């Protein structure tokens, strides 16, 4: 089977639409979202509606949880978030707040004889940054009972092998931080008695569309510029 994993859409409808078009061309069996559907961008309701319409199984991200609380529960109190958090809370429909609140924070899926752990941040914390050089990666993977750990949250994609285990960071659909404006997501090919194949895909989209919408809504220039630079 083929599994597509997306994450950190952050209210960027245009990036999500383009990524879903790319996923459709890959003929995947299922799509899973690791959370942070909202925050930063200006289309939170539209993003959630599309996720619902496509019946995409989703987790709750740290930004989603903070928007539900309308507080800096799991996000930093920064100049950007001081605008983005209340704006998103006010913009989000009550039904979509309920949808976000109902999402799980992790899940484990069985594919034949393989077990895959899916989280937003880490198996321990919704907002833990599992960067590629994170000092606790070895300990986290040694303690993992599943065969594969798939995370996001850092907005920086990578694939790493740990002996017989696999760690995948799916990156970010809507707000990458790897120096490119392109959306990223992960694809896994899982078949019995064969090694799991994983790859990161980079997808171009017209980021000028969301920049224009953010300008019309008077979003901070630093936040707007990050969509073009791919840097926080």
Please identify which residue in the block is written with the tokens 């953010």.
214
Sign of CA dihedral 23, 211, 154, 57: negative
- Provide the angle, in degrees to the nearest 10, between the axes of the packed helices 44-53 and 94-101: 60
The ranges assigned to domains in the chain are 2-229
Kindly report the pTM of this predicted structure: 0.97
Tokens of 212: 């224009």
The distance in angstroms from the start CA to the end CA of the chain is: 35
The DSSP H or E segment spanning 179 is: none
Residues 6+ apart with CB under 8 A from 229: 179, 181
Backbone angles phi, psi at 119, to 5 degrees: -140, 170
Give the mean pLDDT per block of 10 residues along the chain (232 residues): 97 98 97 98 98 98 98 97 98 98 97 93 98 96 97 98 96 97 97 92 98 98 96 92
Three-state secondary-structure class, residue 175: coil
Tens of pLDDT, residues 175-205: 999 999 999 999 999 998 889 999 999 999 9
Residues 178 and 184: their CA atoms lie apart, in Å, by: 10
Domain 2-229 belongs to what architecture? Answer: 4-Layer Sandwich (3.60)
Decide: 1 and 29 in contact? Cβ < 8 Å: yes
Decide: 63 and 39 in contact? Cβ < 8 Å: yes
For residue 53, the cross-strand partners are none
Tokens of 118: 């899916």
pLDDT at 111: 86
């Amino acid at each position: 089977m083929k599994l597509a994993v997306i994450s950190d859409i952050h209210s960027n409808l245009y990036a999500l639409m383009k990524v879903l078009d790319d996923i459709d061309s890959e003929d995947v069996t299922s799509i899973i979202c690791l959370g942070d559907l909202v925050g930063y961008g200006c289309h939170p309701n539209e993003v959630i509606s599309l996720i619902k319409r496509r019946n995409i199984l989703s987790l709750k991200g740290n930004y989603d949880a903070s928007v539900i609380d309308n507080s800096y529960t799991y996000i930093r109190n920064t100049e950007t978030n001081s605008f983005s958090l209340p704006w998103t809370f006010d913009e989000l429909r009550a039904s979509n707040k309920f949808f976000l609140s109902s999402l799980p924070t992790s899940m484990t899926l069985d594919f034949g004889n393989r077990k895959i752990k899916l989280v937003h941040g880490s198996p321990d914390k919704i907002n833990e940054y599992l960067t590629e050089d994170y000092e606790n990666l070895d300990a986290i993977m040694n303690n993992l009972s599943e065969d594969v750990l798939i995370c996001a949250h850092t907005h920086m994609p990578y694939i790493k092998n740990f002996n017989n285990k696999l760690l995948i960071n799916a990156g970010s659909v809507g707000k990458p931080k790897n120096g490119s404006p392109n959306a990223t997501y992960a694809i896994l090919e899982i078949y019995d008695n064969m090694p799991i194949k994983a790859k990161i895909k980079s997808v171009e989209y017209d980021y000028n569309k969301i920049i224009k919408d953010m300008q019309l809504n008077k979003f901070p220039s630093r936040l707007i510029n990050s969509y073009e630079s791919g840097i926080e």
